[in-house]
Amino acid sequence: MHILAFLLLTFSLSGSRSAPPLRTPTTPAATAASHPNGKWYLAETGHAVYCYGPVVLVKQPEGTLQHVATYCKGDKILVPLKD
| 51-82 residue pLDDT tens | 999 999 999 999 999 999 999 988 888 999 99
How many C-beta atoms lie closer than 10 Å to residue 39's C-beta? 13
Q: Alpha-carbon distance 41 to 51, whole Å?
A: 7
Taking the domains of the chain in order of start, what are their residue ranges?
Answer: 37-83
Q: Alpha-carbon distance 49 to 74, whole Å?
A: 9
**pLDDT per residue over 29-55, tens digit each?**
544 566 678 899 999 999 999 999 999
State the pTM of this model.
0.54
Q: For residue 30, what is the enclosing H or E element?
A: helix 28-31
Q: Alpha-carbon distance 79 to 43, whole Å?
A: 7
CA angle, residues 66, 69, 71, in degrees to nearest 5: 140
